[in-house]
A = this chain, B = another copy of it.
Amino acid sequence: MHGLIGRIRAVPGKRAELAAILIQDDGAMPGCLSYIVAEDPTDADLLWVTEVWTDQAAHRASLQLPAVQAAIAKGRPLIAGFDSQFATKVLGGIGIGG
Interface residues of A (CB under 8 A from B): 1, 3, 5, 19, 22-23, 29, 32-41, 48, 50, 52, 86-98
State the main secondary structure of chain A at its contact with B. Answer: strand
Asked if A48 and B95 make an inter-chain contact with CB atoms under 8 angstroms apart, the answer reads: no
Nearest CB of chain B from residue A77's CB, rounded to whole Å: 20
17 further contact pairs, Cβ within 8 A, besides A1-B38, A37-B92? A23-B91, A23-B92, A34-B36, A34-B93, A35-B93, A36-B50, A36-B92, A36-B95, A36-B96, A38-B91, A40-B86, A40-B88, A41-B88, A41-B89, A94-B98, A95-B96, A95-B97
Identical chains bound together, number: 2
